[in-house]
Structure 1
Amino acid sequence: MSGRRLFRMYQDVLRRRPYLVQAVQTSVLMAAGDVIAQTGIEKIPLTSLDISRTIRFSSIGFFVIGPTFRVWYGILAKYVGSGGSPTVTIKKVLMDQLLFAPFILFVLLALIATLKGKNLQEVKEELRLNYKDVLLTSYTIWPWVQICNFYLVPLQYQVLLVQTIALFWNTYLSWKTQRKRDMMEKKVSELK
């Protein structure tokens, strides 16, 4: 099957089922980011992967991140505009980075902690440890990505572009949220 034919099939399914397609692609890319974090950064052998961690991360992509991004980009297109003018692009980027990014990162980090089985106090502690660093790091990457995305990419492909770039971002998030937990567990074991 040729790449062109595969892309046409993707476009057809995307047109018919935009939320489902974007939920699935986000889920797959978040799972891939977690696997890369575990094997490439944390040096965990493939045979020792924490599959439940990957499933948690992937589930957040499927049920929350993919659909939420699709709705958000639709809202931006409807209320700010869908043309690729510099003014529309800057407005979208500002709204995305000042309103949506802080919100979605908070939700994502809270969900990761909650799905790890953390209680409310532990979720608050993980947010205290990670939120500011993650948000500041996001501001070094995402405004530039979103300028290109909103200026050059048609609405139906914006989530795909963001989630493709997010493969690297998801790798970072997976590592970052796991690293803090590992450091806290090490401190607790040293105190015993």
Structure 2
Amino acid sequence: MQVTIMKARNIFKLYQQALARRPYLVQAIQTGTLMATGDIISQTFIERKSFKDVDLKRTVGFSSIGFFVGGPALRVWYGLLNNHIGSDGKAVALKKVFVDQVVFAPAFLLLILTAVGTLQGKNWENIEKDVEANYLDVLKTNYYVWPWVQLVNFYYIPLQYQVLVVQSVALFWNTYLSWKTNRKRLIE
């Protein structure tokens, strides 16, 4: 048991060192990895595909959204919130949650839905139809989950770990998004 704890501490220490040296890269990799994992969970557990039937192109596409967009965007966003609203206190955490959910969440979800449609090879007209069909439902579901997560995140978690905390919870969120954005394709 002690050996396992020591190994976990060493891994976390390596993570901290990498995060300090290359915060954008580390957070891009972790976000991309967790989005890929969410897609695989969606395909295998929700859509009931066997591992050999997993659509790897879809997984790589979903992961690339996390790597190139999600991780870097979240890192920049949390830095902006920290610089312009503050870094600690209950009132600061509440302000951050409010701004995050009113400004960032709606725009980011629109970007994600558009990116997924683009990676699925859809034309602009079909992307617009998908966004119209899914956006409000995804945004509403977002409001059930994320304000509470962000309140804890902004109040208790240091800035350098906020993306990790969000992406850990987002593993389940990414599974939902993957299922939601591919549901129509599964029916066709």
Relative to the length of structure 2, the TM-score reads 0.96
Q: Which residue of 1 aligns with 2:81?
A: 76
Indicate yes or no: 2:10 matched with 1:5. yes
SS in 2 for 1:99: helix
Could you tell me how far 1:137 is from its partner in structure 2? 0.3
Indicate yes or no: 2:116 matched with 1:135. no
Partners of 2:64 and 2:9 in 1: CA distance? 30
Could you tell me how far 1:94 is from its partner in structure 2? 0.1
Could you tell me how far 1:180 is from its partner in structure 2? 2.5
Partners of 1:91 and 1:16 in 2: CA distance? 29
Which AA in structure 1 matches 2:52? Answer: T
Indicate yes or no: 2:68 matched with 1:58. no
Tell me how large the CA RMSD over aligned residues is: 0.8
Partners of 2:8 and 2:19 in 1: CA distance? 16
Q: Select 2:91's aligned residue among 87, 91, 103.
A: 87
Relative to the length of structure 1, the TM-score reads 0.94
Partners of 1:39 and 1:97 in 2: CA distance? 31
Q: Percent of aligned pairs with the same residue?
A: 56
Could you tell me how far 1:2 is from its partner in structure 2? 1.0
Unpaired stretches in structure 2, ≥5 consecutive residues: 1-5
SS in 2 for 1:142: helix
Partners of 2:68 and 2:101 in 1: CA distance? 22
Which aligned pairs between 1:164-179 and structure 2 lie closer than 5 A?
164-179=168-183
Q: Is the CA contact (8 Å cut-off) linking 1:129 and 1:180 kept in structure 2?
A: no
Unpaired stretches in structure 1, ≥5 consecutive residues: 186-192
Could you tell me how far 1:5 is from its partner in structure 2? 1.0
Indicate yes or no: 2:100 matched with 1:96. yes
